[in-house]
Amino acid sequence: MSEKPHNVLVTGASRGLGLAIARRLSAAGYRVIAVARSKSKPLTEAIAEAEQSGRGPMHFAPFDLGKIEAIPDLVKNLRKEFGPLYGLVNNAAVGHDGALAMMHNSRIEELVRLNTLSPIVLTKYVVRAMMAEGAGRIVNVASIIGFTGYSGLAAYAATKAAMLGFTRSLAREVGRLGINVNAVAPGFLDTEMTHGLAGEQRQRVIRRSALRRLADVDDVANAVEFLLGDKARSISGTVLTVDAGTTA
């Protein structure tokens, strides 16, 4: 990679998939700006590791992505502090589950706000900065649930399907400015979001996957790294599924 590292904003980077993405991108030489509400212990360790290794530096930017009205200032301040933003990985999300008929409206609203509204507005301000530069990469983290469906995840699935439609249309809108927009669709991952999924359900997902196992966060992080890199320069508007063949 060139002398000056590209800045990549990763949301929800304090744990789970976002942390794995932040680690991978730092190891690949990017300067990672990790957004989450709280600086978890593993993120603190990852930041220290990145510092010692002398690879891409990692910074923590505390922010509650549910605060839509504060997003313009967040982007403005990050650009002031770090300079041009090359990449954006919209990863942060909540995974509330339960029968729709019983789901509290405030939970439904939170799902839509955090998983759909917030990344769309964040992208709006980041893509402007990319437009001014004439270059950039956006990766939206969707889910196979966005196209397969799963009982108990109707509202969540709607938010993830929304990100797929968003990805395709935005790719068309900003393509001629040198900005690529893609999505990754992970299958079931072992993270805090899914810790409620009991042993039997988990076993069933494994049995149904072509590879007879689950994809892990590092598999998905590799896909994100690929989509941000030079080797993906001609890829835009696609969805890269990483699910160990669950939907094959």
Ligand X SMILES: NC(=O)c1ccc[n+]([C@@H]2O[C@H](COP(=O)([O-])OP(=O)(O)OC[C@H]3O[C@@H](n4cnc5c(N)ncnc54)[C@H](OP(=O)(O)O)[C@@H]3O)[C@@H](O)[C@H]2O)c1
Residues near another protein (CB under 8 A), total: 10
Return the range that interacts with another protein (CB under 8 A); candidates 41-49, 94-102, 168-176, 232-240. Answer: 168-176
132 binds another protein (CB under 8 A): yes
Return the range that interacts with another protein (CB under 8 A); candidates 101-109, 110-118, 127-135, 163-171. Answer: 127-135
Alpha-helical segments (H) within the chain: 16-27, 41-53, 71-82, 105-112, 118-133, 145-148, 154-174, 199-208, 217-228
Asked whether the CA dihedral 40, 45, 46, 48 is positive or negative, the reply is: positive
Beta carbon nearer to another protein, 79 or 107: 79
CA 85 to chain centre: 16
189 binds ligand X (CB under 6 A): yes
Q: Which candidate, 32, 8, 51, places its Cα nearest to that of 139? A: 8
d(CA 154, CA 133): 38
129 binds another protein (CB under 8 A): yes
d(CA 23, CA 43): 9
Closest approach, Cβ 128 to another protein, in A, equals 4
Beta carbon nearer to another protein, 91 or 236: 236
93 binds ligand X (CB under 6 A): yes
131 binds another protein (CB under 8 A): yes
177 binds another protein (CB under 8 A): yes
173 binds another protein (CB under 8 A): yes
Beta carbon nearer to another protein, 79 or 208: 79
Whether residue 35 contacts residue 13, with contact meaning beta carbons closer than 8 Å, is answered with yes
Q: Which candidate, 71, 85, 72, 15, places its Cα nearest to that of 44? A: 15
Find the binder of another protein among 39, 128, 168, 208 (CB under 8 A).
128
Would you please indicate which residues are annotated as catalytic (active-site) residues? 156
